[in-house]
Amino acid sequence: MNLTFLGAAGEVTGSCLRVDHAGGAFLVDCGLFQGGREADVKNRQALDFDLKAIDFVLLTHAHLDHSGLLPRLVALGYKGPVFATAATVDLLGVMLMDSAHIQEKEAEWALRSTRRRSARRRDMNPLYTVEQARTSLSRLRAVGYEVECHPGGGVRCRFRDAGHILGSALLEIDIDERGHSRRLVVSGDLGQPTRPVLRDPVHIDRADYLCIESTYGNRAHRSFAATCDELAAAVNQTLKGHGGNVVIPAFAVGRTQELLFVLADLVRAGRIDRLDVVVDSPMASAVTELTLRHDDLWDDETRALHAWMRAHADRFRLRFVQDVEESMALNSVRGGLVIISASGMCDAGRIKHHLRYNLGRRECSIVIAGFQAAGTLGRRLVDGARQVSIFGERIPVRARIHTIGGLSAHADQPALIGWLRHLRQAPRQTFVVHGEPIAAAALADAIHRQLEWPAPVVAEPGLRYALS
């Protein structure tokens, strides 16, 4: 058996693992490279191999850095099935279509803003179109958690709850080779245990070969309790103390639902009196609806909280804004609202309008609850910019900026090590993937020292590893 890490090696995006075995070949994930100028080049160069050799694709979850090249894979000629959990299939219906819209818009923009001759225009085609995304969705096959599935080539596979986002899975893949059955475990993205909404990652007890993510392989998160305290203080201070609005930029998938849970929980506990919350992002609304529909995937606290919310709709008043007029009407609301909107890093979407109308007002506050990449508007706010430019207009930053650090969809180092402790013995080989080089190296070191396993391999992009 051979493993080739086609992405998410030495970085956190572009997840794609190719497995070659006696019975054929398959991919685990087919993710988009994101961030930075090279990402576009990498996305166009990815999948440059004989796609007919691939029998099937297994998808760990719907985040685009794990799924976002699927439309391109199918457009380039991949004919086989793509297996994922039912919730992932539902999410992809929203997310791949949205991604394709963005690809088309960016290509249009690039074409308009360039003076290059038509000979160069081929590169400016969208990475994939809305039509191609729709076609790729027809390849998806939903599989249940914990059910043994037989995707082909004699491979057996189980999707197990990874507790990262709705539908996320870690994969146990059993492959027969030369009379032996070998188990490959791919962690996908692992959630931080005890976080709201979703269940904790399932523990595994056996792996011959293991690929473990390392996004926060060198960090410990701030405690969840401290995060709730900070959020309660920011909301109370702004709504009651100053009479302004609280604006929260949030990722549509996962973070928005988590924030709704935390806010409702604070109201239930009496730490916030009553609350008017508006979710203003079509994608976040769609994903929240999917989360409500998949109530079988919630943890027990979420079940109890949801029952409370239904009984106390007067104390936690939640509204989902759909059309643009309704969204614009929020601009004239001077105070008393919590507005959750996307994008999570403030560089696109309706959040920019809410910042435009609230940033300049001392009585308002902005709560940053997610990762802000360098170069984004959100990052400038975190870094303390005195004024920012939105839609070409200079807006002074007078609102208070609160950064709350403890909400993360990824396990930190103690949680990753804690999860690995459930294995009864060390795998024959461990590969550390999906992390910046420093984070990956730190996790490899921690695994070696704390668990006393043989030194893990920090996966290198494009290298083919023969498994012993």
Q: Letter for the amino acid at 459?
A: A
Q: How many residues belong to the site for Zn ion (CB under 5 A)?
A: 2
β-pair type (16-21, 24-28): antiparallel
CB 414 → Zn ion: shortest distance, Å? Answer: 19
To Zn ion, the closest distance from the beta carbon of 156 in angstroms equals: 25
CA 354, 359, 363, 365: dihedral to nearest 10 degrees? 70
CA distance 3 to 26: 10
Q: Which residues in 262-321 contact Zn ion (CB under 5 A)?
A: none
Q: Of 50-58, 61-69, 82-90, 107-115, which segment contacts Zn ion by CB under 5 A?
A: 61-69
State which amino acid sits at residue 175: I
In the bound state with Zn ion, the residue whose beta carbon lies nearer, of 63 and 195, is 63
189 binds Zn ion (CB under 5 A): yes
Residue 233, classed as helix, strand or coil, is helix
222-233 core/surface letters (b: 16 or more CB in 10 A; e: else): eebeebbebbbe
**Measured from the CB atom, is 189 or 280 closer to Zn ion?**
189
If the CB atoms of residues 191 and 244 are measured against Zn ion, the closer one turns out to be 191
User: In whole angstroms, how close is the CB of 189 to Zn ion at the nearest point?
Assistant: 4
CB atoms within 10 A of CB 121: 13
58-66, 69-77, 305-313, 422-430 -> range binding Zn ion (CB under 5 A): 58-66
Q: Which stretch binds Zn ion (CB under 5 A): 73-81, 189-197, 205-213, 240-248?
A: 189-197
β-pairing verdict for 338-341 and 275-280: parallel
Task: Tell me whether residue 215 or residue 327 sits nearer to Zn ion (CB atom).
Answer: 215
Judging by beta carbons within 10 Å of its beta carbon (0-12, 13-18, 19+), is residue 57 exposed, middle or buried? buried
What span, in angstroms and rounded, lies between the C-alpha atoms of 360 and 332?
A: 14
Stretch that binds Zn ion, among 18-26, 151-159, 185-193, 285-293 (CB under 5 A): 185-193
Looking at the Cβ atoms of 67 and 429, the one nearer to Zn ion is: 67
Q: Kindly tell me which of 165 and 263 has the beta carbon lying closer to Zn ion.
A: 165
Q: How far is the CB of 447 from Zn ion (least distance, A)?
A: 21
Q: Does 255 bind Zn ion (CB under 5 A)?
A: no
Pairing of strands 155-161, 148-152: antiparallel
C-beta of residue 58 within 8 angstroms of C-beta of residue 185: no
- Kindly give, in sequence order, each residue whose CB lies less than 8 Å from that of residue 198, ignoring residues fewer than 6 positions away: 161, 163, 164, 165, 166, 168, 191, 297, 298, 299, 302
* Segment contacting Zn ion by CB under 5 A, of 30-38, 63-71, 241-249, 355-363: 63-71
DSSP letter (8 states) at residue 39: H
Query: Of 15 and 245, which CB lies nearer to Zn ion in the complex structure?
Result: 15
**Per-residue interface string for the shown chain with Zn ion, residues 6-45, x marking contact by CB under 5 A:** ----------------------------------------
The minimum distance between CB 186 and Zn ion, in angstroms, equals 13
Residue 63 binds Zn ion, judged by CB under 5 A: yes
Cβ distance to Zn ion smaller for residue 11 or 189: 189
List of residues contacting Zn ion (CB under 5 A): 63, 189
